[in-house]
Chains A and B, each alone.
Chain A
Amino acid sequence: MRHRYTTTAISLHWLIAIGIAGTFSLGLYMHELPLSPTKLQLYSWHKWAGVSLFALIVVRLLWRATHAAPPLPAQMPALQRLAANATHWALYALMVAVPLSGWLMSSAKGFQTVWFGVLPLPDLVAKDAALGDLLQDVHEALNLTMLGLVLLHAAAALKHHFIDRDDVLTRMLPALERNE
């Protein structure tokens, strides 16, 4: 029997995956640049992307809360199920925490976030240089944790597909479904 996530869940997953990869790479690149108009522009783009992703993630969580995920393969050991569930929920938590920490960091550093230069987000914390530095470390640590979990997540999906030969990857990537 074939199981799949809903088309909406699949679309949100891949859209957010591409968005996170791009925004993460941009963040990694831009923060080493010397101050320049380009740097200011990239920071703004990074923040716009982060807010957009945050909005998509909220939609995704609402969708996930109201639509059950397809069941895991029956033969999966309990420990693996636990690991899979823990990784998924940790990734959901990080997808909320990473943009949130970036938003708070921006406010603490005195740079308000204005989505696409049009919609100002409220500053949830006042300008505070020490808090800004702390939140920068938090943003970085959360990102590195997320990078580790994303790599684990991708490795597990590939292991399921090529070694276990089950439907764990194809239910999120139907294009790879085997014709049996």
Chain B
Amino acid sequence: MHSLRRTLASLGATLALAALAAPAGAAGFATVDHASSRIGFGYTQMGVGMDGSFGKFTAALAFDPARPEQGRAALELKLASIDAGSAEANDEVRGKDWFNTAAFPLARFESSRIKSLGEGRLQLDGKLTIKGKTHAISAPVTYKVDGRRASFDGTFTIKRSDYAIGEGQWADVGIVADEIRIDFHIVAGQ
């Protein structure tokens, strides 16, 4: 529990995360291994597939495979840590039209429901907030338990226009597509 507390402290005492401490049972996974975890994204630009990732994020979860429905997950992601493929692109997307990281440094996710679909499959529902805009998202997740560690892999798609990511001249989704695929790989220990 110490490491979970550390994680929580590093996140700041957000309500969502404070609630996580409760359901973590003895067999639960509650310590995220950030070095082994990854948050990536993909999109198309003039029909060309592009990939990127975020270097800094803090995830917290409480998940007991015996009671998946009681699990919780939350994430705070430092948007300025984006790697969008080139230095020029990184500078651009931190700017006002895109993430406006000066005013909105973090993206937040908070689970609202975890539903077991059986055989290591889950449906994760929650709310994603970027740039002051919150929308519900739903992601299929697969998980694997390997001794005292578990890994969670999921992917979902958002529309950047829903979050005003890319305003002004970038609002045109004909060049940079509206659909952004988010992939996550989260590794946690007990």
A residues near B, CB below 8 A?
35-38, 40-41, 44, 109-114, 117-118, 120, 129
Contact = CB atoms under 8 A, between A and B. Distances in A.
For the complex of A and B, 6 pairs with smallest distance between CB atoms = A117-B47, A44-B46, A37-B175, A114-B48, A35-B92, A110-B85
Interface residues of B, number: 17
A92 B85 CA distance: 34
Interface of B: 45-50, 85-86, 88-89, 92, 169-170, 172, 174-176
Which of B47, B85, B169, B170: most chain A Cβ within 10 A? B47
B43 to A, nearest CB: 12
A128 to B, nearest CB: 12
Given A35-B92, A37-B176, A114 B169 contact: no
7 contacts: A35-B88, A37-B169, A40-B46, A41-B46, A44-B48, A113-B48, A117-B47
B94 to A, nearest CB: 12
A51 B50 CA distance: 20
B175 A35 contact: no
Contacts of A41: 46, 175
A123 to B, nearest CB: 11
A38 B175 CA distance: 8
B45 A40 contact: yes
A116 B110 CA distance: 40
A111 B48 contact: yes
A120 B50 CA distance: 13
B46 A117 contact: yes
A114 B86 contact: no
Contacts of B49: 112
Contacts of B172: 37
A112 B85 CA distance: 12
Which of B46, B49, B169, B174: most chain A Cβ within 10 A? B46
Nearest to A41: B175
